[in-house]
């Protein structure tokens, strides 16, 4: 089949990323689709209200390098040609939507921990990506390493 031509995988670099990689590989292969990976680094200043009385640029550089390494590792796990590895800085949902538009992606794949209740209040990337996306969004249910799949 070729339902989707350009797939963008939002990678959050958690230990569950390999579950996402497995599904992304299967879908990309089945659709013979171009595959792009993205990881968004939210600037540290976002977390502290934008007014931080110290220079965070060296920490930001380290985060950037860490993200590039992790994305490269994810790319190797995929065992499928990756057309683009994108590490971008900014607001997660905004940057993923922007990149998806630029790449003319017709599917965004994101991991979902299936959290609800209190944990949901802490925010969900899958939920944020869903809203405002101009294309289909597949939330792949991933399980925490210490989570019992049957009880999840």
Measured CA to CA, the distance from residue 97 to residue 17 in angstroms comes to 20
For position 146 contacting a copy of itself by CB under 8 A, the verdict is no
Shortest distance, position 149 Cβ to a copy of itself, whole Å:
9
Residue 7: strand pairing partners: 35, 107
Q: Which tokens hold the place of 51?
A: 């007014």
Measured CA to CA, the distance from residue 63 to residue 144 in angstroms comes to 23
For position 81 contacting a copy of itself by CB under 8 A, the verdict is no
Q: CB-wise, 27 or 41, nearer to a copy of itself? A: 27
Q: Which of residues 24-63 bind a copy of itself (CB under 8 A)?
A: 26-27, 29-30
For position 20 contacting a copy of itself by CB under 8 A, the verdict is no
**Residue 147 near residue 113, CB atoms below 8 Å:** no
Measured CA to CA, the distance from residue 68 to residue 101 in angstroms comes to 22
Return the number of other C-beta atoms located less than 10 Å from residue 111's C-beta: 24
**Stretch near a copy of itself under the rule CB under 8 A, chosen from 43-51, 52-60, 69-77, 139-147:** 139-147
Q: Which tokens hold the place of 91?
A: 């607001």
Q: Which tokens hold the place of 13?
A: 């670099």
Shortest distance, position 80 Cβ to a copy of itself, whole Å:
13
Among 13, 90, 136, 144, the residue binding a copy of itself under the rule CB under 8 A is 136
For position 73 contacting a copy of itself by CB under 8 A, the verdict is no
Interface with a copy of itself (CB under 8 A):
1, 3, 23, 26-27, 29-30, 112, 114-116, 120, 124, 126-127, 130-141, 152
């Amino acid at each position: 089949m070729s339902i989707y031509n350009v797939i963008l995988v939002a990678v959050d670099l958690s230990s569950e990323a390999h579950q996402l990689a497995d599904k992304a590989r299967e879908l990309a292969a089945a659709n013979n689709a171009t595959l792009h990976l993205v990881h968004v680094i939210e600037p540290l200043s976002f977390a502290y209200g934008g007014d931080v009385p110290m220079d965070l640029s060296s920490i930001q550089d380290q985060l950037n390098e860490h993200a590039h390494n992790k994305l490269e590792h994810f790319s190797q796990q995929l065992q499928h040609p990756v057309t683009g590895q994108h590490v971008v800085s900014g607001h997660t949902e905004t940057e993923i939507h922007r990149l998806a538009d630029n790449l003319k992606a017709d599917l965004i794949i994101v991991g979902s921990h299936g959290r609800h209740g209190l944990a949901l209040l802490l925010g969900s990337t899958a939920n944020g990506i869903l809203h405002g996306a101009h294309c289909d969004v597949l939330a792949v249910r991933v399980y925490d390493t210490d989570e019992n799949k049957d009880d999840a």
